[in-house]
Amino acid sequence: MLELFLTFFKIGMFTFGGGYAMIPLIEREMIYGKKWIDKDELLEIITISQMTPGPIAINAATFIGKKRAGILGSIAATLGVIAPSLLVITVISAFFSKSFLNPTMQKIFIGLRAGIAALILSSVIKLSKNTLIDYFSYVVFIVSLIGLVFFNISPVTLILFFGVGCILFFTVRGEK
């Protein structure tokens, strides 16, 4: 339990920018470091985490913790990943809330946002390598991207559309 807590505490402590920015660190720790999951399991966890309420990192910690040590493992991992944010936000709100207006702090946040964008792009590239595996997956990806970027279609609508569409497509092709 302690190892789960500390591992996810580290992930929560050293990652800024939310769940997508955490994916590279989760990947490195869970797949290559601890070897608790493999790449396919990470993709499944991210997919499920997207479909369930709550942030990706918390959902991923809960799933991985449950896999490693049952309910208590999921609690330990979840508390580990949220504890750093809770501590940081408490300190910021207590001591630094006025410093956000400081020009130096504004510049720091510009740099942090750019770094976070790079982390998110890195996650997209890594996920696409394991997800875009055939013609059909490329079509789903491109149509979804166009729908999101150019037509502002709700992600929920796209998930439902392609979920049903994929069931029909693979049923017609005779695949399970």
Q: How far apart are CA 50 and CA 37, in angstroms?
A: 18
What does the mean pLDDT of the chain come to?
86
Least confident piece of the model among 27-41, 87-101, 134-148:
87-101
Among 10-14, 31-35, 48-52, 90-94, top mean pLDDT goes to: 31-35
Q: Is pLDDT of 158 > 70?
A: yes
> CB-based contacts of 6: which residues, under 8 Å, 6+ apart?
80
DSSP 152: -
Residue 50 has pLDDT above 80, yes or no: no
C-alpha closest to that of 36 among 76, 1, 65: 65
Taking residues 54-59, report their average pLDDT.
Answer: 83
Residue 168 has pLDDT above 80, yes or no: yes
Quote the pLDDT of residue 78.
94
Report the run of H or E that residue 63 belongs to, with start and end.
helix 56-91
